[in-house]
Amino acid sequence: MIKYAIEACLILLLTTLISCGERNKSVEESNKINEPEYAIAYNVLYNDSTDNYEVFTMNMDGSGKQNITNLSGVEWTYYSFKDKLYFISDKDTCHRCFFLYETNFKGENPKKISDLQLADSWMSSRNGGQELIVEPRRKVDSAFQIININGSLVQRLETGLPYSADPLFVNNGNQVVFRGGMTKSKLIEGFNEALYIIDLDGNNRKQLTHYPENDTTAGKFGYKAGTPKLHPTENFISYQSKQNGKYSLYAVTLDGSKQWKLTENQENEGWHDWSPDGKWLAIELFDNDQTQFHIGLMNWKTKEIKVLTDTSFQYQQSPNFVLKMTNE
């Protein structure tokens, strides 16, 4: 009887373990199914002799690389919202005269968003992706413009600075962080690049970043404060800056009270993007002489980073995350 009782207990224990294992596996598979599936879009210098830039996308593991624009001129992407990928293009117009287009991660059914000629600048959106803030070409307008997804003007934003670029909505779209300069370009003495925050009515402009006074390594043309990006869950601004002779990513709070070095990668770090869930950081990586640019992907929790690109192309830059599909 004791033997049979032990065998019964062992069978019951084994059945329980199998059941628990299957249940845990089921939970893991369910979580995996619910996990958003992203592609990474990035810009590639496809043919240097003809100034041909293309937009590529790839999977999060670096597989499935594809040219999704396949045009003869200049196409650059700087922003996506959910499954909508936005890119600027000079197709059907003069060289580097840019207009805004929308597509998906496969490059399907591209459509022109606006007849507003744009500058080469990053952008962002608010109101569930229904409104974009963009930088027009300076000959067209010196102010940022907020447009809807049909291309109609919603509002202009004058920053009050001679130079303004790379606008980023923050605080639920009620304020904008941007890269500003005290002269019209880096060619003019006193540019003093920094990140600023401003209300949508143009009031309460405040300087957020302050470049180290004794650091001269950025020189005249290096970024002291590059394109701002908002961490979606931790609510700080990240940006590239050349300090101590190397480009790294830095961060600043939205009130400017804290500024710190964000990453510790050996490579130079440039344009970058956060996944919408805040778990991943895609970074442009390059050597000191800027002879080879790669796209790297960092797990923000573990800080592990993996290079996703190879040396098929020299310039592979400006990554941004785009959802492969959405249920909405």
Q: What was the pLDDT predicted at 6? A: 52
Instruction: Give per-residue pLDDT as tens, 166-190.
Output: 999 999 999 999 999 999 999 999 9
The domain made up of 39-323 is a member of CATH 3.40.50.300: no
Residue 62 in 3-state DSSP?
A: coil
Q: Which two tokens stand for residue 125?
A: 């959106």
Q: Cα(143)–Cα(159) distance, rounded to whole angstroms?
A: 7
Top-confidence residue, 33 or 166: 166
* pLDDT band for position 27 (cuts 50, 70, 90): very low
- pLDDT attached to residue 325: 82
Q: Which residue has the tokens 């496969």?
A: 106
Rounded to whole angstroms, how far apart are CA atoms 223 and 243? 9
Q: What is the pLDDT of residues 263-309, one digit of tens each?
A: 999 999 999 999 999 999 999 999 999 999 999 999 999 999 999 99
Q: Could you tell me what percent of the chain has a pLDDT over 70?
A: 89
pLDDT of residue 25: 52
